[in-house]
């Protein structure tokens, strides 16, 4: 049994996330965590809400709530939706936690002691209309690199170029929209990433198994232009982790907070500590996942994220860990994803364009969405959600292949043999051929899952479902029953054992349906089929079962048209 630490990028607290956010980090991370647990490994799966910075303040201002109250409420909303989608976090934390505050200040102190933080007098945008300095995300304008007219002051989400607010063309306040801006002097702390470039480059060069998408983004930021730049880690905001040097005040930094992208990745560690606190465990319980000198040497650490988060996880967060001089566990593998687009355009949180997690669960169960998103994960390039493709995938993959198989075999058995597994003779050559075919597909499925090749894994799982349908169609127990009921009983026994097998194999993708299948077949507690022959004989004669309700209802053309119209514009 191996130990696996898994983290998915922290979702911002500012509102409900859309399906593109979900498939870009949390959902594939859950798939991998569920698979590893099913194989008997020890897993720590961590996520949290990212609560500091401009998005939180702006969102709270719109609702009229105090930012702390807004964040507490939205954390509960996001946690509930995560549970609704079956995201199996061991802990879903908060970056505003006391644990994260203390750890962030600890790292800042270590970095300062090591000479990796410098104080900089810089010119920053001040808004007369708002009466305050405007941190990067409070400023919008045109990107000087690609011309995108809604670029933020920290990064252009269109071309992913890192920016400073003063780089923007025609800047405006994101609070008031005012262009009455002035550049004033202010002091901030900078992390000397440039001084750590050699160590970071050496670390990245050692990750020869990383996806091309991850490595290419990291090396572009590391080597393009002037190379890795020092980065500001403080902001003039009220909401955030107060700037302190460990347990000490930081002269000249009064009233400032740490930059959200400095404290947010540290929350991975802090959330694991929050898990220990919630479990009533001591600090040793979480430190064995993160400290190499306290047991983390045998941990494999995997991060999941969208491509826009790659620079901070391959450069800035590693710079924090390396620069601290302490033996923290570094990530072993970063699984990054491209974007999911929506029906010919972009998902838009501000415009409410596309399907958001809450509305998705209102119209269909989670497994419908889980299956489509994972089987169309944007791995090698961007993927597009269309209602036509979604309808086709649900109807053909889930209803016609898996759902139809389970329904046919259980209903036929009930009609001819009752609701217990029939006996019949031993499996014959057709059943042996089926077992061998499944074994080949199962090996490919496991290899794809271990390599985190999500779409390939989905394709292999579907192929295993298809094998059962093909067997059932060729065996035709409904015809065989007329002349050889004993042989038909054996074929039905094989089919019922396939239901159990499919439930176990499908659980990482469609956990709610899989649990229902196991409950119907009275096979709860079924383990991964390391011995396939034994797995296909697990349900012996006399084993009771029930016929499940319709597992997947087909999506009608009328429903598809209604949803396409509903989610094309402004969110209600």
Exposed e or buried b per residue across 108-142, where buried means at least 16 C-beta atoms within 10 angstroms of its C-beta: bbbbbeeebbeeeeeebbbbeebeebbbbbbbbbb
- Predicted confidence (pLDDT) per residue in 359-370, tens digit: 999 999 999 999
Q: Which pLDDT tens digit goes with each residue over 300-355? A: 999 999 999 999 999 999 999 999 999 999 999 999 999 999 988 888 876 778 99
Give the angle 265-186-175 at the CA atoms, nearest 5°: 70
pLDDT of residue 297: 97
- The Cα 539–Cα 536 span in angstroms is 8
Interatomic CA distance for residues 514 and 367, integer angstroms: 10
Segment 163-172 mean pLDDT: 89
Express as a percent the part of the chain with pLDDT over 90: 85
First to last CA, the chain: 48
Mean pLDDT, residues 96-110 taken together: 98
pLDDT at 160: 83
C-alpha span between 31 and 511 (Å, rounded): 9
Q: Using 50, 70 and 90 to split pLDDT, how confident is the model at 544?
A: very high
Percent of the chain residues past pLDDT 70, beyond the cut: 99
| Residue 156 annotated as part of some ligand binding site | yes
The reply, when asked if residue 159 is annotated as ligand binding, is yes
pLDDT of the residue at 134: 85
Helix axes 283-290, 260-279, angle to 10 degrees: 130
Residue 57 predicted with pLDDT over 60: yes
47 labelled binding-site residue: no
Backbone angles phi, psi at 54, to 5 degrees: -60, -45
CATH fold group of domain 384-535: Isoleucyl-tRNA Synthetase; Domain 1 (1.10.730)
- Residue 398, pLDDT score: 98
Nearest to 418 by CA among 542, 290, 233, 240: 542
pLDDT digits (tens, 9 = 90+) for 463-515: 999 999 999 999 999 999 999 999 999 999 999 999 999 999 999 999 999 99
On whether the CB atoms of residues 148 and 142 are closer than 8 A, the answer is yes
For the cut 80, the answer to whether the pLDDT of residue 226 exceeds it is no
208 is in an annotated binding site: no
Residue 181: band (very low, low, confident or very high) from pLDDT cuts 50, 70, 90: very high
User: CA 424, 430, 433: angle at the middle one, nearest 5?
Assistant: 130
pLDDT of residue 409: 98
**What confidence tier does 524 reach under pLDDT thresholds 50, 70, 90?**
confident
**According to the model, what pLDDT value does residue 166 have?**
82
User: How are beta strands 257-258 and 248-249 bridged, if at all?
Assistant: unpaired
CA separation, residue 267 to residues 7, 46, 170, 260, 501 (Å): 10, 9, 35, 11, 38
**Helix or strand holding residue 168 (H, E):** none
For residue 499, the surrounding DSSP H or E stretch is helix 485-506
Range 100-127 average pLDDT: 95
- Among residues 398, 372, 387, 519, the alpha carbon closest in space to that of 454 is found at 372
| DSSP state, residue 196 | G
pLDDT at 571: 44
pTM above 0.85, yes or no: yes
- Please state the rounded mean pLDDT for residues 9-33: 96
For residue 572, what pLDDT is reported?
Answer: 42
Mean pLDDT score across all residues of the chain: 94
Which among 220, 186, 222 has a CA at the least distance from the CA of 201? 222
* Pairs from 258-261 (Cβ < 8 Å, separation ≥ 24): 258/52, 258/104, 258/108, 258/233, 258/234, 259/53, 259/232, 259/233, 259/234, 259/235, 260/50, 260/52, 260/53, 260/54, 260/95, 260/235, 261/53, 261/154, 261/312, 261/316
Question: What is the distance between the alpha carbons of residues 29 and 47, in angstroms, rounded to a whole number?
Answer: 10
Specify whether the CB–CB gap between 498 and 535 falls below 8 A.
Answer: no
Distinct helix (H) and strand (E) counts, the chain: 22, 18
Joined tokens for residue 71: 């964040």
Cβ(140)–Cβ(151) under 8 Å? Answer: yes
For 394-428, how does the pLDDT look when each residue is reduced to its tens digit (9 = 90+)? 999 999 999 999 999 999 999 999 999 999 999 99
Name the percent of the chain in helix, strand, coil, to the closest 5. Answer: 50, 15, 30
């Amino acid at each position: 049994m191996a130990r696996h630490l898994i983290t998915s990028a922290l979702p911002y607290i500012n509102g409900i996330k859309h399906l593109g956010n979900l498939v870009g980090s949390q959902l594939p991370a859950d798939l991998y965590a569920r698979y590893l647990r099913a194989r008997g490994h020890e897993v720590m799966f961590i996520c949290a809400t990212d609560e500091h910075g401009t998005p939180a303040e702006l969102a709270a201002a719109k609702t009229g709530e105090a930012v702390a109250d807004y964040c507490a409420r939205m954390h509960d909303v996001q946690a509930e939706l995560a549970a609704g989608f079956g995201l199996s976090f061991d802990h879903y934390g908060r970056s505003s936690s006391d644990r994260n505050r203390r750890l962030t200040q600890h790292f800042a102190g270590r970095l300062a002691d090591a000479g990796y933080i410098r104080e900089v007098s810089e010119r920053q945008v001040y808004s007369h209309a708002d009466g305050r300095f405007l941190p990067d995300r409070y400023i919008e304008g045109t990107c000087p690199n690609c011309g995108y007219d809604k670029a933020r002051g920290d990064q252009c989400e269109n071309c992913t170029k890192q920016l400073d607010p003063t780089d923007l063309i025609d800047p405006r306040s994101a609070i008031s929209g005012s262009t009455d801006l002035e550049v004033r002097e202010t002091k901030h702390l900078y992390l000397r990433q440039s001084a750590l470039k050699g160590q970071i480059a050496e670390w990245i060069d050692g990750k020869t198994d990383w996806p091309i998408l991850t490595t290419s983004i990291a090396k572009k930021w590391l080597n393009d232009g002037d190379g890795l730049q020092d980065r500001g880690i403080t902001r003039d905001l009220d909401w955030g982790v107060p700037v302190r040097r460990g347990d000490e005040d930081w002269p000249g930094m009064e009233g400032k907070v740490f930059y959200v992208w400095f404290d947010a990745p540290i929350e991975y560690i802090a959330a694991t500590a929050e898990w220990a606190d919630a479990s009533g465990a001591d600090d040793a319980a979480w430190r064995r996942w993160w400290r190499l000198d306290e047991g983390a040497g045998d941990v494999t650490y995997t991060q999941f994220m969208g491509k826009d988060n790659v620079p901070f996880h391959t450069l800035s967060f590693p710079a924090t860990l390396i620069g601290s001089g302490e033996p923290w566990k570094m990530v072993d593998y970063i699984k990054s994803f491209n974007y999911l687009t929506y029906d010919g355009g972009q998902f838009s949180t501000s415009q409410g364009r596309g399907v958001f997690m809450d509305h998705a669960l209102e119209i269909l169960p989670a497994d419908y969405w889980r299956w489509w998103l994972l089987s169309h994960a944007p791995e090698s390039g961007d993927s597009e959600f269309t209602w036509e493709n979604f309808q086709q995938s649900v109807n053909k993959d889930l209803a016609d292949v898996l759902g139809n198989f389970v329904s046919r075999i259980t209903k036929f058995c009930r009609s001819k043999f009752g609701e217990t597994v029939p006996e019949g003779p031993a499996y014959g050559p057709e059943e042996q051929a089926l077992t061998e075919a499944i074994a080949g597909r199962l090996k490919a499925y496991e290899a794809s899952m271990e390599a985190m090749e999500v779409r390939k894994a989905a394709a292999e799982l579907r192929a295993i479902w298809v094998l059962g349908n093909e067997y059932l169609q060729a065996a035709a127990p409904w015809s065989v029953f007329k002349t050889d009921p004993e042989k038909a009983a054996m074929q039905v026994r094989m089919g019922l054992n396939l239901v159990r097998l499919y439930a176990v194999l499908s659980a990482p993708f469609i956990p709610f349906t899989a649990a229902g299948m196991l409950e119907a077949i009275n096979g709860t507690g079924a383990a991964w089929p390391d011995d396939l022959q034994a797995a296909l004989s697990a349900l012996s004669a006399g084993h009771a079962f029930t016929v499940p309700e319709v597992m997947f209802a087909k999506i009608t053309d009328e429903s598809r048209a209604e949803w396409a119209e509903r989610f094309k514009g402004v969110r209600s």
